Chains A and B, each alone.
Chain A
């Protein structure tokens, strides 16, 4: 077992993840623009290493309703990746993609499916950059969706991080087309995979 302690992760590693986050989010933006067939802007992503308690607040409170799309990752690295989107942003993206204007509180089956696909494309673009940069093979599973309170959705990656330390690593990306869309990536490689990512990039621990 590798001896990575996420609480004492080196600045180099955070920088590496930031760069991967940058490229990944860039690719994700392109993918989103193609999907929606419109111009999408992106702000420089921010990589944050947060205490569990701070995560919910960043997203507007633990009770903020979010759409979370979660994929399990296998291959050379194992773990999972989550993409979170604030509820209104999710609504906006879905109506834009499907050309519908439903205002209801609940997403329909079809809209949920569209949302999963959006998550799939965005996380796919992100994982692609990670794979290209590191030369590691990464296979994502089919996406699963949960629309619930930020705290509840985030408990899933938090628990996975919880086995490693007391912090969670998060990449915040702001997209905008007509409105601003706040998206968050949470990437959770297992303990061995941290080492593999760094080693493949030529960083010694």
Chain B
């Protein structure tokens, strides 16, 4: 029996096929799904903020793109994934409110997406697909078996990237 493991906000989990991973209601946060297509080990991180070095309370590793993605990769490798085969898909980073950019946290969603891409780039993990930005929330399910990343939103058709 396969199960779908839930990943909370500022959290990360890994699993092996046929299990899957999900995170519900991604808003300005970003969901980063990484897998090894051969061993079918996969992981999902739900990050909230781009950069741990700019925050004083930064001990919560999965909360930040920089520390969260690195930790996810470490756990995947420990679970039998090959570091060099890892590929990724990302979703989220919406701007939920039109004037959100007025606050000092300028365009948080956009920054989260950008930071995630930078970190994945530094780690040389290709981004195969993304569904980011815009102004609506997303629930995602990641299947390490196929690499499918299912995205559900309110009042919109489900899609797979």
Contact = CB atoms under 8 A, between A and B. Distances in A.
Interface in B4-39: 8-11, 24-29
A132 interface: no
A73 B63 CA distance: 26
Main secondary structure of the interface of A (DSSP, over half): mixed
Interface residues of B, number: 34
B103 interface: yes
Nearest to A69: B97
Contact of B29 (A80, A155, A163): A155
Interface string B50-69: 00000101001001000000
A152 B8 contact: no
Nearest to A52: B9
B29 A166 contact: no
B10 A162 contact: yes
A160 B103 contact: yes
A61 interface: yes
Question: Chain B interface mostly helix, strand, loop or mixed?
Answer: loop
A7 B57 contact: yes
A165 B105 CA distance: 15
Contact of A150 (B25, B98, B100): B25
Contacts of A25: none
A53 B26 CA distance: 12
Contacts of B96: 68, 70, 146, 148, 152-153, 155-156
A159 B98 CA distance: 16
A56 B94 CA distance: 18
5 contacts: A55-B9, A152-B137, A155-B29, A156-B100, A159-B48
Interface of B: 8-11, 24-29, 48-49, 55, 57, 60, 63, 94, 96-100, 102-105, 108, 135-139, 154-155
Interface of A: 5, 7, 52-53, 55-56, 61-63, 65, 68, 70, 72, 80, 105-106, 141-142, 144-156, 158-160, 162-166, 190
